[in-house]
Chains A and B, each alone.
Chain A
Amino acid sequence: MTALLEVPGLAEPARPKKLSYSERVLESGLRVVAVRRPTVPLVEVRLRVPFFSARARHRARSALLAGTIRTGTAEHDRLGLAEALGDLGAELSVGADPDRLLLSASAIASGLPALLGLYAEILTSASYPNAEVGGERGRLLERITMSRSQAGVMAGEALAQRMAPGHPYGRTLPDEQEVAATTAAQLRTLHAGMVRPDGALLVIVGDISPARALAAAESALAGWTGAAPAGKVAPPPPVAGGPLRIVDRPGSVQTAFRFGGPGLPRQDERYPALQLANLVFGGFISSRWVENIRERRGFSYSPRSALDHEALRSSFLISADVATEVSAPALLETLYELGRMASGPVTEAELETVRQYAIGTLAISTATQSGLASTVANLLGAGVELEWLSSHPARLARVTVADVAEVAAEFLAPRRLVGVAVGDAGAITAPLAGIVEVE
């Protein structure tokens, strides 16, 4: 028998490069941040407008606004706008969630001034033509119906409702009847009241000079004005455990488990420890839970846990889709691994693995123009300054086994989480009820 070959060690790590960027707050209150990253001759743009509202029907209206904001302006009809974007090699996508309206685009770098001109046109004169709103309303309703037919979407909705009942975060899809009742006039009113530069953020990343990008933004967006809408919204009260909610999907060949509980925001001093605790539990494939239910038992293809950040709350989330027959044993193993995290320490070797993984994937996530643009927009949008990116590896390096044990006991304890199971209720209720309280 030949001796085993040795796995090569690691070379000296490269020193992380500091991000070089310029920024300016325009007179209108719009914050503009520009970063040079010239790998390919493109530019990425993210405009993030705060869009939180606890008003009834806001979700439906913001979803339809996102779908129709670029279907007509004072200067262009829908086709004209699409052609003008296409000429710049640009893709523009618009999305709304409870926190923000996001207009993301990429384009050929030399087209940046023209692209910002089109942004300005849309922001200051989107016209929401009645016929376009009517057409998009019908298609949005069809898309909602298609989404709701997916087990994963049903489970996401059920968990959101369980975690924040009655709060805007408690709903992941707009209500169909509210969409059906939304008019073009209401969208114009919503746009006038909330699509405003004060408090909004514009991020530009790519093969550009930051100074010239700031100047281009200032000149293109000079006509977009308006103070931030007033009003403060409270976060949902933290969830406090409770029975597992079973949602019936008759004949389902799998059960979609989703669990959630409170997390910590990135600025919290205990966040790095929670980030590492999540990884040890189920945040990547070499984690305890994934090795258990995927690699040892073959119960699930992609079980995963994650930390999620919204403007008003941070959460710890876990998800797994498992064959109907193994629903109960999969739940048992999940509770076992959560309980093991909450009640005993991780090993030094486990900690070292997740530390390196967290540091490495942070570098990877900002290695592309689009990844960097989204990361910068997400961080600044959450009130985290960019210095965080370069200082975070050092924070991860300081986390100890005791730090992880402390946050795991608090945030990963199974009794602290709420859960849902979307599946064939007739087949799974009795076996699951043998393990936990169900409703």
Chain B
Amino acid sequence: MPTASRLPTLPSLSFELLHHTLSNGLRVVLAPDRRAPVVAVAVNYDVGFRSEPQGRTGFAHLFEHLMFQGSANLEKLEHFHYVQSSGGTFNGSTHLDYTNYYDLLPSHALERGLFLEADRMRSPRITKENLANQIDVVKEEIRVNVLNRPYGGFPWLQLPELMYDTFPNAHNGYGGFEDLSSATVADASSFFDSYYAPANAVLSVAGDFDPDRALEMIERHFGPIERRTRPRRPDFSEPPLTAERRAQVADELAPIPAIAIGYRVADPVADFPAYLASVLLAEILSNGDASRLHRALVQDKGLVTDVSAYLGTFGDPLEERDPTRLTITAHYADRAATDTVLAAVDAELDRVATEGTEPGELRRAGVQLAATLSHELDNVLNRGLEFAKFQLIFDDAELILRLPELLGAITDDDIRTAARALAPTSRAVVELVPGAAK
């Protein structure tokens, strides 16, 4: 076993970023790195599930689909053809606080990628026919990921409803079928006008390119897009929970029960150090065989099949503003064990809160998290996406590069404080009741 002096140190991340803002307000982050002949183009818009109107649940995601259906100078299907016939791949995804669109291309296709992103920022081509087609496609997506799947959407679709009291935070981001079906072309135009202004977006380019030439291309393609007002982001905050909340959901396809426990955590933007301590705490709780919850619930007590603790709706801890949460989920075979599982989780959280970390544990969790982060940033596309996202959410793309150092500065006291905040009296618990008895 390596002794403490021989242990590897936290990796440091050396990428140089360049910043620029166009006269229409579009923020640009460039991350050149010429080691592999590929380039990523990512555009993040500052709008997500939280901003969709009442009666239009799922609209932000439906709109993401519509952004691929043709644009000012491109017919339906042409966007796909141009990216793929250049040897590239593309996609988009919708989150609570942002929506991203991205292409990964051989570097000689950079200008084409920039043109394609600029063209839909200029104006997507939204027709009644394309809207009806994509409503069908989104319904199939929901069927395959939620309705036809055991544990489908659990707990991201069920926990917010219990945990939050206001529509923006509590509603189902995939959307109800009635809401999706009643979406109109006029809704889409007004959503675009409100939220897809250049000033409400960040463009990032990462990988194999010359920064000066890339900036020329960006000016050429994005520069002429008209400046529009950047929408004011509403205050989505909610007061913390003052009592435990419990709910049950039935899942006819699931063979065994599952549980999701949600806790409110510090504001990621306003109180980043406290929030980062929660992120490290989640690592200590559930990453790997040496983690607290795995040892206690899986190995020692044999209570659960698996257990996981994570921040954010989809497991990316650094993509949401306030309010966000730490979630603990577990699957377990014994239907009568719910309270035992909860008590075991409480006991472990209490142990961290009162006794703190074990020797070496804090450093190990920090190294693991920093290694995971390095691993992410090895991928050119992830670099493009992460820099754009950090610029958008934290107004600081370089923050991600300082994370190893910031993780190294977290103390045992910080972890105890983060653990104390995960109290039974302010949590939300959703039990999934299985219907597929065997």
Contacts and interface: CB of A to CB of B under 8 A. Distances in A.
Contact of B371 (A10, A42, A285): A42
B375 A42 contact: yes
A87 B364 contact: yes
A91 interface: yes
Nearest to A140: B305
B288 A86 contact: yes
Interface string A1-19: 0001111111111101100
Contacts of A177: none
B153 interface: no
Interface in B84-101: 84-89
A149 B254 contact: yes
A84 B136 CA distance: 50
Contacts of A252: 148
Contacts of A26: none
A394 interface: no
Given A16-B37, A145-B256, A361-B89, A87 B106 contact: no
A295 interface: yes
Nearest to B36: A367
Contact of B208 (A8, A14, A145, A151): A14
A83 B148 contact: no
B305 A146 contact: yes
B72 interface: yes
B109 A10 contact: yes
A40 B375 contact: yes
B375 A321 contact: no
Given A142-B333, A356-B85, A363-B106, A42 B378 contact: yes
Contacts of B12: 41
B302 A39 contact: no
Contacts, number: 256
B331 A146 contact: yes
Interface residues of A, number: 90
What interface size band does chain B fall in?
35 or more
Interface stretch (A259-267, A296-304, A380-388): A296-304
A361 B89 CA distance: 8
A78 interface: yes
B144 A254 contact: yes
B367 A286 contact: no
A331 B289 CA distance: 45
B11 A108 contact: yes
B288 A301 contact: no
Interface in B67-85: 72-74, 76-77, 80-82, 84-85
B134 A254 contact: no
B436 interface: yes
Given A150-B150, A254-B148, 8 more contacts: A11-B111, A70-B289, A86-B364, A87-B364, A108-B8, A295-B133, A301-B141, A321-B140
Closest 8 CB pairs of A and B: A360-B87, A298-B136, A89-B371, A82-B289, A82-B290, A14-B37, A353-B85, A301-B141
Interface of A: 4-14, 16-17, 38-42, 70-71, 75-76, 78-91, 106-111, 114, 132, 135, 138-139, 142-143, 145-146, 148-151, 251-254, 284-286, 291, 294-302, 321-323, 352-353, 356-361, 363-364, 367-371
Interface of B: 1-2, 6-9, 11-13, 33, 35-38, 72-74, 76-77, 80-82, 84-89, 104-112, 115-116, 119, 132-141, 143-144, 147-151, 208, 252-256, 288-290, 295, 298-299, 302, 305-306, 331, 333, 360, 363-365, 367-368, 370-372, 374-375, 377-380, 436, 438
